Homo-oligomer: A and B are copies of this chain.
């Protein structure tokens, strides 16, 4: 543990966040996401929910301001009436750092999988909520 670094961030996760550069993406995946089969760079964060992890990450991680949608969510299947309440938790956390203007992108399940495969890393959490997967695109530290 270090002063000022949240305990939820593992040494390996911190290292990965530091290694990433402009345009690299990281996936925060829920407990049912096929994380291990979609990346060569898997970080485990078992037992934790994504909002708490997201908050800790965004304390250090700049979002990409050069693209329209630096944050990507997995969309609800067409026709399904389910409305993921965890999205509001995400918005709240993100707005604290980046203001209300940031618009998120929504991808269907299999398009999201393909995007995840190209990410720099996937963090496998224990998040139990549905449609809780989220991709962050790293911006620039000035």
Residues of A within 8 A of B (CB): 1-24, 29, 31-37, 44-48, 52, 59-62, 120, 126, 128, 138, 140-142
The answer on a CB contact under 8 Å between B140 and A7 is: no
A9: nearest chain-B partner, CB-CB: B46
Cross-chain contact A141 with B47 (CB below 8 angstroms): no
**12 pairs, CB–CB < 8 Å, chain A vs chain B:** A2-B18, A2-B61, A2-B62, A3-B141, A4-B60, A5-B18, A7-B31, A11-B18, A14-B18, A20-B37, A21-B29, A21-B36
In the A-B complex, the 9 residue pairs with the smallest Cβ-Cβ separation, listed nearest first, are: A21-B34, A8-B47, A7-B126, A11-B18, A2-B60, A10-B46, A1-B141, A15-B15, A19-B36
